[in-house]
Structure 1
Amino acid sequence: MSDSAALARRWRLVLGRYAEQRMPLGPGNERLDETLGYLYDREYRRRGHLGAGEGKGASLDASVVEAVRWLGDARELFPTSTFERVQAEAITRYGLTELLTDPATARRIEPSVGLAAALLQVRERLDEAAAAGLREIIARVVDELVRRLRPRFETALGGSRNPRQRSLRPRAADLDWRRTVRENLGNYDRETQRLMIDRVSFTGRARRTLSWDVVLLVDQSGSMASSLVYSAVCASVLSGLPGIRVRLLTFDTGVVDLTSFAHDPVQVLMAARLGGGTDIAGALAYAESVVTTPARTVVAVVSDFYEGGSVGALLATARRMAAGGTRLIGIAALDDTGVAAYDTALARRLVEVGMDVAAVTPDRFAEWLAEVMA
């Protein structure tokens, strides 16, 4: 297929049935067009472009059987990234809650952090049956994240390095180059000028003897939905590590203490209320009030730093906490991309008063905490 033909096909599929006269679909694309039409014809219906009986996707009360068939076709026809977006829009934008209300169908939905984040933003509009399906999806997302992230946190926060102790489970990051070279000097080949290594030494990790408090202060505005998912999982993993006490706080214009649920990220996410304003100053002041041992406390603020409260109060609180010994870190995004859109101007001002700010992946967050608590 030529580039121009491929482009025309793409536009025809985007525009749907109304482009058929000028841009015929062509053979072999009927199933793809029908699958797209099942969902996006609903947009035409909303805008009054389709009559009551027009289009297989025009009705907003599709049966479970039709929804299951559509879900299977979409999974087969689209790349994974496209399918994840389409299934999220089906539920959050076009009301196909049939995908959630039927337990068997809910189990067929492809779980992802993006889908969980999108569904959490419409959770309050779901009835009890759909909310049960949502919990099922969130539980599957959480289980996968915990399985992947727990070893990372255990490795990073398992203890501080001890150069005098040999590691029983050596890692590349613990390679002791100086000792390795010293112990193999007798194997130096002057002719080839190469050092032959037959013994490799690693540092070990001493058991952590002092406890740390980690306060996770998580912005629950809509733009932070994905970061909230990862934050809940990180809190649960941290709460299971020895020597670390976790306090989990979510905030918008007020603060909710979810510490009692920190071990259960599904419960945390089902209790969260995404949306609303953002008062970082008030939230940080609350965090300051619960800090009992500043020298052994890390406060991690997960936010896009678009402050709706008092910037002056926020900076004053951050400066006071940093001066008192509390470690402050700001996380502009906590997800697998480590990329964020955030208020860089406010972030720079927070850095000036003692808070380190970055957008990080969960793996890097684990390493960052280890560095801060070293």
Structure 2
Amino acid sequence: MSQVTGLDPLTRWRLILGEASDGACRSAGCALSADAIAMDAALDWLYGRDDEDGSRNISRQGGRGDSALTTPQWINDIHRLFPKETIERIERDAIEQYAIDDIITNPDVLSRAEPNETLLKAVLRTKHLMSPDILVMARKLVQEVVRKLMERLSREMALAFSGVVDRRRHSRFKIASDLDFRRVVKDNLKHYDPQTRRLTVEKLHFFARNQRHMKQWQIILLVDQSGSMLDSVIHSAVTAACLWALPGVKTHLVAFDTNVVDLTHDVDDPCELLMKVQLGGGTDIQKAVGYAAELISQPEQAIVVLISDFYEGASPAMLIQRVTELTAQRTLVLGLAALDSTAEPAYDRDMARKLVAAGAEVGAMTPGELAGWLAAKIGR
């Protein structure tokens, strides 16, 4: 949800007039909130390049943040803080008036950029502004970041679905959580040094895991593609790709705003999938849940994972009804207010409580935690 809509008139005028109006605003009792300070920093980063006489000072990098913003950070900030129409105006000014186009038009900048999630999000938010040749370079950057995310999650996914620990057997696979601590200590006690009080470990032992035998399950990921959910969109694409590779699991990935788009045919290529996602727009959650219900072949072997901030732009009553119908047929419904590396969501808590009352489980998870949750439900 955009923060600008909740600003009082004095704060709005302070953001419009800039730092020069600080004294007058303080006299009128205007104190900037944390969000307003972030907005001020983002606006000053761009419009602070103008000197008082109206001339352009390209070297000036204003702002009230703890550190100077980079272009990718700035792009991500304005998408988090401002409504869509404001974002479009700010981005247009950045490109047309201030020539800040290093991320979308400058191949040298993209070729030197270190692939990371911040840059990935900036690319996904501005890909519609890129020329075809720049888009090719941006796609390579997206591929590299996605590759690293998939490597990490694939290990967590394999561990989650590998079965329970068997303490009667040992394995050559070295997984930290399966360490046989007692045997390691016992076998290496002869290397204990009383003077330094240190134990030198020459050999490690790890428990084996029983093979998990699963029935055929259907997992449907419904992903809210509004701008505030971009982190979750990225990790949902990676999660779907990892689930796709698991035996016994049929995976669907569906993105939605006011429309529903089935992305399942691209789920094995998360880079291509992310490049197709259209961020922004309204939110019709109940329509997406209704679409998921139509995909289900065996209700008791299906899991619907709704990844959204739960701010329903259509019919809250219909959303609750659809979730109630799913849980009544013994389909598992998990509502995730966030699916990302931090799992720190901002969401409609009232709607979340209603979803729980309708039989859903609601929370926020990292992709690894979701893998563990799914494995526990499937393997029970």
Q: If the length of structure 2 is used for normalisation, what is the TM-score?
A: 0.69
Per-residue CA deviation, residues 53-86 of structure 1 (Å, 9 max, x unaligned), is: x42348xxxxxxxxxxx9xxxxxxx979978625
Cα distance, 1:166 vs structure 2: 5.6
Residue of structure 1 aligned with 2:127, choices 103, 123, 127: 123
Hey, what does 2:312 align to over in structure 1?
307
Cα distance, 1:50 vs structure 2: 5.3
Partner SS, residue 234 of structure 2: helix
Match for 1:267: what amino acid? E
Residue of structure 1 aligned with 2:286, choices 281, 285, 290: 281
CA distance in 2, matches of 1:166, 1:210: 26
Hey, what does 1:23 align to over in structure 2?
none
Cα distance, 1:140 vs structure 2: 2.0
Q: Tell which deviates more after alignment, 114-123 or 259-268.
A: 114-123
Hey, what does 2:173 align to over in structure 1?
169
Partner SS, residue 322 of structure 2: helix
Total equivalences in the alignment: 305
**Aligned 8 A contact 1:165 1:205 in 2:** no
Residue 161 to residue 309, structure 1, CA distance change in 2 (3 Å): farther
Partner SS, residue 99 of structure 1: coil
**Aligned 8 A contact 1:41 1:57 in 2:** no
Per-residue CA deviation, residues 198-249 of structure 1 (Å, 9 max, x unaligned), is: x988462224342221111100011101110111111111111222111110
Residues 97-136 of structure 1 mapped to structure 2, 5 A cutoff: 97-136=101-140
Hey, what does 2:363 align to over in structure 1?
358
Residue of structure 2 aligned with 1:56, choices 48, 58, 61: 58
Residue 279 to residue 50, structure 1, CA distance change in 2 (3 Å): farther
Hey, what does 1:235 align to over in structure 2?
240
CA distance in 2, matches of 1:205, 1:368: 18
Residue 108 to residue 342, structure 1, CA distance change in 2 (3 Å): same
CA distance in 1, matches of 2:289, 2:46: 44
The answer to whether residue 154 in structure 2 is matched with residue 150 in structure 1 is yes
CA distance in 1, matches of 2:110, 2:328: 50
CA distance in 2, matches of 1:81, 1:306: 30
Cα distance, 1:276 vs structure 2: 0.5
Hey, what does 2:354 align to over in structure 1?
349
Cα distance, 1:16 vs structure 2: 10
- Give 5+ residue unaligned stretches, structure 1: 1-14, 18-38, 59-69, 71-77, 185-198
Cα distance, 1:350 vs structure 2: 0.6
Per-residue CA deviation, residues 15-48 of structure 1 (Å, 9 max, x unaligned), is: 999xxxxxxxxxxxxxxxxxxxxx96741357x8
Partner SS, residue 103 of structure 2: helix
Residue 209 to residue 126, structure 1, CA distance change in 2 (3 Å): same
Partner SS, residue 147 of structure 1: helix
CA distance in 1, matches of 2:329, 2:225: 27
Question: Percent identity, aligned pairs only?
Answer: 35
**Aligned 8 A contact 2:215 2:248 in 1:** yes
**Aligned 8 A contact 2:125 2:279 in 1:** yes
Match for 2:300: what amino acid? A
**Aligned 8 A contact 2:104 2:126 in 1:** no
Higher Cα Rg: structure 1 or 2?
1
Residue 340 to residue 303, structure 1, CA distance change in 2 (3 Å): same
CA distance in 2, matches of 1:124, 1:84: 15
Per-residue CA deviation, residues 91-146 of structure 1 (Å, 9 max, x unaligned), is: 98433333343444212123322332233233323333343343233222211111
Residues 69-108 of structure 1 mapped to structure 2, 5 A cutoff: 85=73, 93=91, 94-95=94-95, 96-108=100-112
Cα distance, 1:165 vs structure 2: 6.4
Match for 1:274: what amino acid? L
Residue of structure 1 aligned with 2:258, choices 244, 249, 253: 253
Match for 2:118: what amino acid? G
**Aligned 8 A contact 2:165 2:207 in 1:** no
Match for 1:121: what amino acid? R
Partner SS, residue 111 of structure 1: coil
Residue of structure 1 aligned with 2:275, choices 270, 279, 282: 270
Match for 1:97: what amino acid? D
**Aligned 8 A contact 2:224 2:307 in 1:** yes
**Aligned 8 A contact 2:338 2:365 in 1:** yes
Per-residue CA deviation, residues 340-371 of structure 1 (Å, 9 max, x unaligned), is: 00011111111111111111111111111111
**Aligned 8 A contact 1:41 1:55 in 2:** no
**Aligned 8 A contact 1:337 1:361 in 2:** yes
- Give 5+ residue unaligned stretches, structure 2: 1-17, 21-42, 80-89, 187-203
CA distance in 1, matches of 2:53, 2:269: 46
Residue 208 to residue 81, structure 1, CA distance change in 2 (3 Å): farther
**Aligned 8 A contact 1:221 1:277 in 2:** yes
CA distance in 2, matches of 1:243, 1:311: 34
Residue 211 to residue 312, structure 1, CA distance change in 2 (3 Å): same
C-alpha RMSD of the superposition: 3.7
Hey, what does 2:374 align to over in structure 1?
369
CA distance in 1, matches of 2:275, 2:70: 26
Hey, what does 1:219 align to over in structure 2?
224
Hey, what does 1:67 align to over in structure 2?
none
Partner SS, residue 101 of structure 1: coil
Residue 282 to residue 110, structure 1, CA distance change in 2 (3 Å): same
